[in-house]
Amino acid sequence: MDFSIKTIDAKTSIATVKTGCLVVGIFENRKLSAAAAAIDKTGAVTAILKTGDLSGKPGSTLLLRGLQGVAADRVLLVGLGDSEDIKDKHFNQTVQAIVRVFGTLGGNDALLALPLNQVKQRDLGWAIGNVVQSARDQLYRSDAQKSKKDPAPAGVKKIAFALSSTDTASGKQALLEHVAIANGVELSKELGNLSGNVCTPTYLANTAKKLAKEYKLGIEVLDRKQLQALKMGSFLSVANGSDEPPKFIVLKHMGGKGKDAPVVLVGKGITFDSGGISLKPGAAMDEMKYDMCGAASVLGTFRAIAEMGLKLNVIGVIPSTENMPSGSATKPGDIVTSMSGQTIEVLNTDAEGRLILCDALTYVERFKPAAVIDIATLTGACIVALGHHNAGLFSRDDEAHDKLASDLLAAGKASGDTAWRMPIEDAYQEQLKSNFADVANIGGMPAGSVTAACFLERFTRKYTWAHLDIAGVAWRSGPTKGATGRPVPLLTAYLLGQARAGNAKATSK
The residues assigned a catalytic role are: 280, 354
Question: Are 238 and 323 in contact, with CB atoms under 8 Å apart?
Answer: yes
Q: Which CA distances in Å does 230 have to 248, 335, 341, 459?
A: 11, 18, 11, 15
List 336's β-bridge partners, or say none.
344
Question: Are 279 and 222 in contact, with CB atoms under 8 Å apart?
Answer: no
List of residues 6+ apart from 255 with CB closer than 8 A: 305, 309, 310, 311, 312, 313, 314, 499
- DSSP-derived 3-state class of residue 451: helix
The dihedral over CA atoms of 402, 403, 408, 409, expressed in degrees to the nearest 10, equals 60
Burial class (CB in 10 A: 0-12, 13-18, 19+), 85: exposed
Q: Compute the half-sphere exposure of residue 174: CA atoms within 13 Å on the CB side of its CA.
A: 22
Strand pairing category for 343-345 and 335-337:
antiparallel
Using H for helix, E for strand and C for coil, what is the string for 277-340? CCCCCCCCHHHHHHHHHHHHHHHHHHHHHHHCCCCCEEEEEEEEEEECCCCCCCCCCCEEECCC
List of residues 6+ apart from 171 with CB closer than 8 A: 5, 124, 128, 161, 163
List 488's β-bridge partners, or say none.
none
